[in-house]
Amino acid sequence: MSTASELQSTVDAMVQPGKGLLAADESGPTIAKRFKTIGVESNEEYRRAWRDLLLSTSGLGEYISGVILYEETLGQCSSKGTPLPELAASQGIVPGIKVDLGKIPLAHAPGDEITQGLDGLAQRLAGYRKQGARFAKWRAVYNISPTRPGRLAIEANADALASYAAICQEAGIVPIVEPEVLMDGDHTIARSFEVTEAVLHEVFHALHRHAVVLEHMLLKPGMVIAGSNAGKASVEDVARQTVQVLKRTVPAAVPGVVFLSGGQTPEQATAHLDAMNRLAALPWNLSFSYGRALQEPPLQAWKGLAANVAVAQKALLKRARLNSEACLGRYETRMEVDEG
């Protein structure tokens, strides 16, 4: 198969009506933070058990078309001895891998950050492919303040995202391009719109410069949403403004936009996605690539105990199903209680 047709078939498997992605690629420090909320120590066996629980959820492939894994998980096996990427694939879920190496302060730009991980990326991708990964993720992070992010952060992160995407496509791996404008702070929804517009505009300019094939990538943005310490906008306002900023900046050639949840509650993330999918005539498939908004309820149900696996899987399946409904604009809040 040519690289282009391989990229196309991976995109086709990932972008399907009523399906989204599960982000289960928390780095060591992040998964430790999540486990702390349920009083579980983050060691290799607990991390393996948790990701085994997620991927062995029966019926998950009905709503989830891809899973983003962390490097460690790519090499781990289920309790029955199946490699976890293979377990995902057996459910019709394409395995992917987070490939950035996290963020550091951006020199000469106090308060701004830059994501690292380009050195040796092509070699790492070849190894991940052998382990079953067919797509990758790179996350750039933008903090909002009255003066941040600055031009340098916007341009430097766009260039790194585009270099990463080009390297992935050359290796036959579909890149997910993730520019995350953080919700932290007390900024208005108007400020979130302004920053998101500037960030996405620059990202697509850089993708063009690096000759990235837009048909063979996915965009993973945050929604346009007021800061977590500010007054909330309505669900309809978030939906309208998010779609407006995407229409201004994201070419119709991009097959799918898969949102991150970024600290929204599971219910908010589902309601916002649903409201967007009720708006007429969108050029891209609008779906989800949620971490916390899919994992929080099952994590709270699990608490690290084997006896709770079934109830945790039920909680995961419920969120996956409701987000699938939201992809089709068919979610209703009563489903949160009625179908629990």
If the CB atoms of residues 80 and 312 are measured against ligand 13P, the closer one turns out to be: 312
CA quadruple 225, 198, 323, 83: dihedral positive or negative?
negative
Residue 152: count other Cβ atoms within 10 Å of its Cβ.
14
The answer to whether 41 and 35 have CB atoms below 8 angstroms apart is yes
Q: Active-site residue among 113, 178, 296, 325?
A: 178
Tell whether residue 20 is a contact of ligand 13P (CB under 6 A). Answer: no
If the CB atoms of residues 84 and 140 are measured against ligand 13P, the closer one turns out to be: 140
Stretch that binds ligand 13P, among 124-132, 146-154, 192-200, 285-293 (CB under 6 A): 285-293
Active-site residue 220, yes or no? yes
Tell whether residue 299 is a contact of ligand 13P (CB under 6 A). Answer: no
* Distance between CA atoms of residues 21 and 254, nearest Å: 16
Tell whether residue 291 is a contact of ligand 13P (CB under 6 A). Answer: yes
Active-site residue 137, yes or no? no
If the CB atoms of residues 99 and 162 are measured against ligand 13P, the closer one turns out to be: 99
Tell whether residue 290 is a contact of ligand 13P (CB under 6 A). Answer: yes
Q: Which of 178, 288, 209, 192 is nearest to 244 (CA)?
A: 192
140 forms beta bridges with 179
Tell whether residue 272 is a contact of ligand 13P (CB under 6 A). Answer: no
Q: Minimum distance between the CB of residue 26 and ligand 13P, rounded to whole angstroms?
A: 8
Stretch that binds ligand 13P, among 84-92, 143-151, 255-263, 276-284 (CB under 6 A): 255-263
> By rule CB under 6 A, what string of x and - marks binding of each residue 172-191 to ligand 13P?
------x-------------
Tell whether residue 216 is a contact of ligand 13P (CB under 6 A). Answer: no
* Size, binding site for ligand 13P by CB under 6 A: 10
Tell whether residue 260 is a contact of ligand 13P (CB under 6 A). Answer: yes
Distances (CA, A) of 120 to 87, 117, 133, 169, 258: 28, 8, 17, 15, 27
Residues numbered 21 to 40 that lie near ligand 13P (CB under 6 A) are 23
Tell whether residue 293 is a contact of ligand 13P (CB under 6 A). Answer: yes
78 exposed, middle or buried (CB, 10 Å; 0-12, 13-18, 19+)?
middle
Tell whether residue 319 is a contact of ligand 13P (CB under 6 A). Answer: no
H or E stretch at 54: helix 44-55
Buried b (16+ CB within 10 A) or exposed e, 203-230: bbebbeebebebebbbbbbbbbbbbeeb
Q: Active-site residue among 202, 220, 296, 318?
A: 220
* Distance between CA atoms of residues 233 and 224, nearest Å: 10
Q: What are phi and psi of 289, to 5 degrees?
A: -140, 65
Tell whether residue 67 is a contact of ligand 13P (CB under 6 A). Answer: no
Could you say which of 51, 292, 318, 321 contacts ligand 13P (CB under 6 A)?
292
The first and second tokens of residue 275, run together, are 């409201």
If the CB atoms of residues 202 and 296 are measured against ligand 13P, the closer one turns out to be: 296
Residue 107: count other Cβ atoms within 10 Å of its Cβ.
10
| Residues found near ligand 13P in the complex (CB under 6 A) | 23, 139, 178, 260-262, 290-293
Task: Give catalytic residue positions.
Answer: 178, 220
